[in-house]
Amino acid sequence: MPTLLHIDSSPLYGHSVSRQLSSAFVDQWKSSHPDATLIERDLTSTFIPPINAEWVTAVYTPEDSRTPEQKQLLTLSDSLISELFEADEYVIGVPMHNFGIPSVLKLWIDQIARVNKTFSYATGTPVGLLTGKKVTFLIATGGIYDAGTQMASYDHVEPYLRTVFGFLGVTDATVITAGGASALMRGADRATFLAPHLQAVQAHAQVV
């Protein structure tokens, strides 16, 4: 049976649009896969330190030559990478922060983008090792950044995520964006705003 890795990165919890979308996806996916396995990873409640020189040295030290301290430094990274390989599919809730991804999501990416683990240069060119996987990005943005709009070039969320995951071998990617969420701060009805986005999420989760 399939395994889904569910990742959230918004600090707003109950007020988060991206969390509500990812929760709807998971509920629909579980309904369509009643015997499947779900892995939950909340990045806002996971302590992920920034990488440093010692971490980089440990990564590039041959595995059989690593000191106990180096192995300990990579324990979290190994665990996060194991979740990616265990799952067949990923759903990731992502709010836009300052035109990019949240800092906690970037910290996670820095831990899981590891040479000879999730990508390789063994052939002389980069090869992603997370093959046969698919990902759904559920993005919430305060403004409207759709292609063709005046602010489209400010969106560094979708291009970055597609690039990183494609580099790691995950090229089957779907993006569903709830744009204009700042209207909720100005009193817009939440249910009305969310309705079309939830419908799109649920429809997608039925077929993946």
With 90 as the cut, is the pLDDT of residue 16 above it? Answer: yes
Q: In this predicted structure, what is the pLDDT of residue 151?
A: 96
With 90 as the cut, is the pLDDT of residue 57 above it? Answer: yes
Secondary structure element (H or E) that encloses residue 157, with its range: none
Instruction: Please report, for the chain, the start and end positions of each structural domain, with discontinuous segments joined by +.
Output: 3-207
On average, the pLDDT of the chain sits at: 97
Q: In this predicted structure, what is the pLDDT of residue 61?
A: 97
Q: Tell how strand 119-120 and strand 127-128 pair up.
A: antiparallel
For domain 3-207, give its CATH number from 3.40.50.360, 3.40.50.2300, 3.40.50.300, 3.40.50.1000: 3.40.50.360
Q: What is residue 3's three-state secondary structure?
A: strand
Could you tell me which residues come within 8 angstroms of residue 84 by beta carbon, excluding any fewer than 6 positions away? 5, 90, 112, 118, 130, 133
- Helix extents (H) in 74-157: 75-86, 103-112
Question: Could you tell me if 5 and 84 are in contact, meaning their C-beta atoms sit under 8 angstroms apart?
Answer: yes
Closest listed residue to residue 60, CA positions, set 76, 73, 47, 79: 73
Tell me the average pLDDT across 63-79: 98
- 167-185 pLDDT tens trace: 999 999 999 999 999 999 9
With 90 as the cut, is the pLDDT of residue 126 above it? Answer: yes
- 76-95 pLDDT tens trace: 999 999 999 999 999 999 99
Question: Could you tell me if 101 and 18 are in contact, meaning their C-beta atoms sit under 8 angstroms apart?
Answer: no
Could you tell me which residues come within 8 angstroms of residue 164 by beta carbon, excluding any fewer than 6 positions away? 109, 113
* Overall pTM surpassing 0.85 (yes/no): yes
With 90 as the cut, is the pLDDT of residue 207 above it? Answer: no
Question: Could you tell me if 180 and 142 are in contact, meaning their C-beta atoms sit under 8 angstroms apart?
Answer: yes
Tell me the average pLDDT across 187-197: 97
Could you tell me which residues come within 8 angstroms of residue 151 by beta carbon, excluding any fewer than 6 positions away? 143, 144, 145
Q: In this predicted structure, what is the pLDDT of residue 83?
A: 98
DSSP designation for 14: G
User: What percent of the chain is modeled with pLDDT above 70?
Assistant: 100
